[in-house]
Chains A and B, each alone.
Chain A
Amino acid sequence: MSIWEYANPTKFMRTTNGALPWLVGAAAVCCVGGVVWGFLTPDDFRQGSTVKIVFLHVPAAMMAINIWVMMLVASLIWIIRRHHVSALAAKAAAPVGAVMTLIALATGAIWGQPMWGTWWEWDPRLTSFLILFLFYLGYIALWSAVEDPDSAADLTGVLCLVGSVFALLSRYAVLFWNQGLHQGASLSVQSGERMSAVYRYPLYLAMLGFFLLFLALLLIRTRTEIRKRRLAALQAREMRA
């Protein structure tokens, strides 16, 4: 196991220490602001008050995908440059991504119920999110299963790479699969037309809020991972001494 003696994590801890309170504050303001503002918007003439769900569903769905992309980038940085903070950041981000995916799925299904008449519809978008959720689960499970932290980082990095390709591939396979079977258009939960300004601005604020929330959670969780690694390294060193 590598020793805890690089500047990177220390600098990371110091920098985030100062930034975190501001980040948390900004996240809280944007999240609460966006969601409450969204809640106060008028009803859509077609979807009634359920349109309010968009302020949770869309930000969560966006984050679900963006977080996986971030994990991919972080995994690549780990594989190429061996920065431990990068590997730990990917590990830290995964549960947040999984929860975002779950929220996207739950709100999608709940929103779909009055629209489609059923609690679940194998709509291509929802299905792709279900597959993404499975990839998140596998990634998280692999981190827990491998004992050596560096090996875990390497294996999960490779898994993230292969998984990303297949997540993309599945997206198109699912589109083929659904269009192939159901001729009728599936009601998309997010209308293609331009949203009216009444909904657009609260949505942007909510999306910003979710992003800042992810950032805050990511930093806190990465700090936790760094501390755990430091403790493990110290204990290992003592056992060897």
Chain B
Amino acid sequence: MIALLWRDLRLATRTGGGLGLGVAFFLILCTLVPFGIGPDRAALAPVAPGILWVGALLACLLSLDRIFALDHEDGSLDLLATAPLPLEGTVAVKALAHWITTGLPLILAAPLFGVLLQLPVQAMPWLVASLLIGTPALSMLGAFGAAITVGLRRGGMLLSLLVLPLYIPTLIFGAEITRRGAEGAATGTPLLFLAGITMAVLALIPFAAAAALRVNLR
């Protein structure tokens, strides 16, 4: 399992474009939004939590099809399916690799970009916390979507259509945590819900994703 993880991480960092693309997109988005809304602090600060979370979400989406596509194309996915490691484990490892290469950079970059969007400083730790807890779910759900659409031509748009509605609960609670953090209000409830969602997703979705992979590898 560790070997697979290292392999995926090395692949992502080597073939240029995988790493950094998500953060770059995130940056561009956070730069674009003020152009659309206006530079006024009073207008940006309230929507900053939501924009940051939606931005992180969309940036995650960008690299989802790479989770399985490359391996599917050169046949290594078939090999992985017959390997002693259960397919559910493979899915989990690949989702973890996606999170490390896409989610983690986003989490680190988010407070900086929050500054661009006039996010109050007291919200920063909550932003990071909510992203830390929420992005693993995004990666795992993304892996599920990738498993369903692997091998489809023009699967990218379909992937977004399938995965984004699944992101809604995580988005709602994640943004709410950040917003409450900005106001200094209690964040316990949404934090619990977010953690619950992520844990359930991490525990159960690998089975659904593996099932989808088996169908596509037939």
Contacts and interface: CB of A to CB of B under 8 A. Distances in A.
Do A's and B's CB atoms come within 8 Å in the complex? yes
Contact of B158 (A141, A154, A169): A141
B14 interface: no
A142 B162 CA distance: 8
Interface residues of B, number: 27
A138 B161 contact: yes
A112 B179 CA distance: 29
Interface stretch (B34-42, B61-69, B104-112, B205-213): B205-213
A173 B173 contact: yes
Label chain B's interface by main secondary structure: helix
B197 A158 contact: no
Given A145-B158, A155-B148, A170 B216 contact: no
B176 interface: yes
B212 A176 contact: no
Given A141-B161, A158-B148, A173 B205 contact: no
Nearest to A173: B169
Contacts of B172: 173-174, 176-177
A131 interface: yes
A137 interface: yes
Nearest to A161: B208
Nearest to B149: A145
Contacts of A158: 148, 208, 211-212, 215
Interface string A204-225: 0000000000000000000000
A148 B215 CA distance: 10
A131 B166 CA distance: 10
A162 interface: yes
Contacts, number: 71
B168 A170 contact: yes
A134 interface: yes
Given A138-B161, A159-B148, A177-B176, A145 B169 contact: no
Contacts of B166: 162-163, 166
Given A138-B161, A141-B158, A162-B144, A155 B212 contact: yes
Interface in B194-218: 197, 205, 208, 211-212, 215-216, 218
14 contacts: A138-B158, A138-B161, A138-B165, A141-B162, A142-B148, A145-B155, A155-B148, A155-B212, A161-B208, A162-B205, A166-B168, A173-B172, A176-B173, A180-B176
Given A145-B155, A154-B215, A161-B208, 15 more contacts: A135-B165, A138-B165, A145-B152, A145-B158, A151-B215, A151-B216, A155-B216, A158-B211, A162-B166, A162-B208, A163-B166, A170-B165, A173-B172, A174-B168, A176-B172
